[in-house]
Structure 1
């Protein structure tokens, strides 16, 4: 009988090889760690300020009053592209290209017109994202740490939304702020681009996928998370009630099913009444073996 430890080592090495091949093929994406600890809004809000909490940690987004806060899946796709491009190029200035449709293909979106089309929604969410400010806070009663981490320092967008296939004289660019650039270069969270794109229709599914594969990268034993804590971290736009007795828990579990189709390790998470039981599995992108 083969030694189970040897089998486990073989599987780890095979997965690590796949990871290295995926990295070379550009199939891996990256997300800012801070935006996984607390998430952006899922739906449109009238508020100019938005706060999510995860234990002692909190994220606050402040909107430009002319545009409002970013929300939904598109800002998440944009932020994942921004982080991935910065990690791969090691450059604060990112080139989005000279056509809107070309950039949308990189996000996994098809350019469609009209009031509710993808072109209109991308244009709106892009303005919201590049103009917002972000603050992170850690407060445990003994210490207080606040970090200003505005993602975008400047943006020059020359696209023609009415004709997304038309090239422009100048390429559109965004320049990341130095603090945000350093944050994502130092410790980004890695994921599979194909998995994320499969989930792009659901902003909560995108959040859960990256969060689960991130937790799986370091968790070693099962643990419980109260539904109240999950609602504070992920439940943007859902009325807060004790023990998760709102439609948040239902929406969370529905999104979890979607994630499990694309990333089967998510099937290990269990609803245990007042808590979610997190049973660690393999991260979607295993760590390289040495």
Structure 2
């Protein structure tokens, strides 16, 4: 739960039910009114708390320790930087040529690239192959494999975000200081090195030729980071797909979910508390929110939402720090069976 004068009730549920003792119809009329989106969230909460996941997906370490942009950094920005302790993520935008002949620099941002990454990591682990088939078209991929409901003008935006994700230049750097020795490790890559995207740019259109399909080939370094190489285990970690889908288009809440899942595991499999200053959380998650007070409010709202969907997650905060208390693992190790990635417990980066 959250302290520091912050309500533990999710801010997603803003309805109120008055309790007037003299109102004979109170039990019938004064019910909590929920929107369709709120009802869907609460149904997901009930399912997650009552049943173990039947379908697992996977995230990757550096995008749980840092995160993609939530909103567009802007066409004039040439590098996006996020820091978390000794870890730095740098992203250079993709240079995209549009169907109308124009060109522009585009960053991957928002919920769509995050969902694509989760799908790609999961699919790479499932197939043990860097070549991933997206389906008959990008439209097919978004609706059937990402299970996102978009159409019309949103398809153009989703296509642009997909290309930006695959083609952006990504660099992950970590520093470690021991005595007078500084160790710097870095890795640079694109998510994909080649691919083909077939897209219906309108609301209707004929399907592509059945002999063609959309696909991408993951960068070998990124692929090896997922599945492991030379006897080293990969850096993927399991998440509950029901939670990912229930979070929906809330990019900050999705980042917070991935982060809590990995941090709880690293905290000696949830047996230790992890105290993080708000300054550090703002540096990690707050690229789109300059005002620190506003960032804290948004983060608390996101963690409350995640807390509903992640049974066993315990946390609290005060004015200076946010603390992940000893918590249950998001995915119990017995549920992973042969698909369990080996993660280093304790410390992490």
The bucket for the TM-score relative to the shorter chain is 0.7 to 0.9
Question: Contact 2:91 / 2:169 at 8 angstroms: preserved in 1?
Answer: yes
Q: CA deviation at 1:97?
A: 0.6
Q: Is 1:223 matched with 2:274?
A: yes
CA deviation string 1:94-116 (max 9, x = no partner)? 000103343123212113213xx
Question: Contact 2:124 / 2:130 at 8 angstroms: preserved in 1?
Answer: yes
CA deviation string 1:155-211 (max 9, x = no partner)? 211222315674212100110010000001122111011110110221010011111
Rounded Cα–Cα distance in structure 1 between residues aligned with 2:245 and 2:205? 22
Q: Structure 1: where are the runs of 5+ without partners?
A: 1-14
Q: CA deviation at 1:18?
A: 4.5
Rounded Cα–Cα distance in structure 1 between residues aligned with 2:272 and 2:107? 37
Partner of 1:51: 81
- The structure where helix makes up a greater share of residues is 1
Rounded Cα–Cα distance in structure 1 between residues aligned with 2:136 and 2:321? 48
Larger radius of gyration: 2
Partner of 2:186: 146
Q: Is 1:104 matched with 2:132?
A: no
Count of residues paired in the alignment: 261
Partner of 1:174: 216
Q: Is 1:204 matched with 2:241?
A: no
Rounded Cα–Cα distance in structure 1 between residues aligned with 2:235 and 2:324? 23
Rounded Cα–Cα distance in structure 1 between residues aligned with 2:252 and 2:116? 15
Question: Contact 2:138 / 2:197 at 8 angstroms: preserved in 1?
Answer: no
CA deviation string 1:120-179 (max 9, x = no partner)? 321121121111010011123412111113211112112223156742121001100100
Select the residue among 106, 110, 116 that pairs with 1:78: 116
Q: CA deviation at 1:221?
A: 1.4
Question: Contact 1:87 / 1:184 at 8 angstroms: preserved in 2?
Answer: yes
CA deviation string 1:223-276 (max 9, x = no partner)? 311001111111121226xxxx3311111011111112222334x211121000
Q: Structure 2: where are the runs of 5+ without partners?
A: 1-48, 96-103, 228-233, 338-349
Partner of 1:246: 293
Structure 1 consecutive aligned stretches of length 4 or more whose deviation exceeds 4 Å: none
Q: Is 1:67 matched with 2:105?
A: yes
Question: Contact 2:264 / 2:326 at 8 angstroms: preserved in 1?
Answer: yes
Q: CA deviation at 1:72?
A: 0.8
The range that moved more, 216-225 or 197-206, is 216-225
Partner of 1:280: 326
Question: Contact 2:138 / 2:214 at 8 angstroms: preserved in 1?
Answer: no
Rounded Cα–Cα distance in structure 2 between residues aligned with 1:195 and 1:41? 21
Question: Contact 1:101 / 1:110 at 8 angstroms: preserved in 2?
Answer: no
